[in-house]
Every structure is written in C-alpha cells, then in structure tokens.
Amino acid sequence: DAMVIQNPRYQVTQFGKPVTLSCSQTLNHNVMYWYQQKSSQAPKLLFHYYDKDFNNEADTPDNFQSRRPNTSFCFLDIRSPGLGDAAMYLCATSRESSGRTDTQYFGPGTRLTVL
C-alpha cells in the first residue's frame, strides 16, 4: 500500500543533542510537509518542500532545519533540542499540479522526548 512512513516512532534525546527525524513516502507526491504538534493542539506547519523548493514558515525557529535529498525522503534536523521542542512531529505529503493541491496524507508521527 502507498503510504507515508516515519522513523523512528519514538525518539528520546538529551537537551542540546542534535537529532534527525526521517520521513519517506511511496505516494510519489511532489510536496512534503513537516508539522509540530503539542498536546492535542492543532498541527503547526514548520516548513514544506514543493519539489526541491524549500518553503520555511516565518515563525519556524532556526533550530529546525530540513533536507529533501530526493522525491521519496525528507528529514527534519533539530540542531540543539530544548525542552520546549518535545512534541509529536508529523510528516505529510500531497500532490500539486497546475496550481491545484490535493489532499495531504500524514505519516504516523514521531514522538520526541527531550531529557
């Protein structure tokens, strides 16, 4: 089945220790998104890739970076995690063509704990 996969599902890191979360998709979608979600709040968009074009949200901290080496994979790097970065991180994908964006499909998420 075509899907969005996130690894790991649970990640524990130490304060200030860099961490990388990964997302892969078999949907062949050209747009990939990273969201941060805290305690049953709405997901907050961090950034998204339209093909190789990176689009950062204005209020995303510099501590968060992303890489998309190819269509299928996208990574979220947190350079120096703070306690406030503990959250669920959600990856999503969609197909956009001719100026029209279709449904976003989400992965299962990675729960990040910062000690």
Partner 1 sequence: AQSVAQPEDQVNVAEGNPLTVKCTYSVSGNPYLFWYVQYPNRGLQFLLKYITGDNLVKGSYGFEAEFNKSQTSFHLKKPSALVSDSALYFCAVLRRGYSTLTFGKGTMLLVSP
- The residue type found at 79 is R
Q: How far is the CB of 79 from partner 1 (least distance, A)?
A: 24
Q: Which of 50, 6, 47 is nearest to 30 (CA)?
A: 50
Q: How far is the CB of 88 from partner 1 (least distance, A)?
A: 8
Q: How far apart are CA 54 and CA 63, in angstroms?
A: 16
Question: Where along the sequence are the contacts to partner 1 (CB under 8 A)?
Answer: 4, 6, 31, 33, 40-43, 45, 48, 50, 55, 88, 90, 92, 94, 96, 99-101, 103-109, 111
Q: Which is nearer to partner 1, 4 or 19 (CB)?
A: 4
Distances (CA, A) of 66 to 20, 39, 44, 78, 99: 9, 23, 15, 9, 24
Q: Which is nearer to partner 1, 55 or 80 (CB)?
A: 55
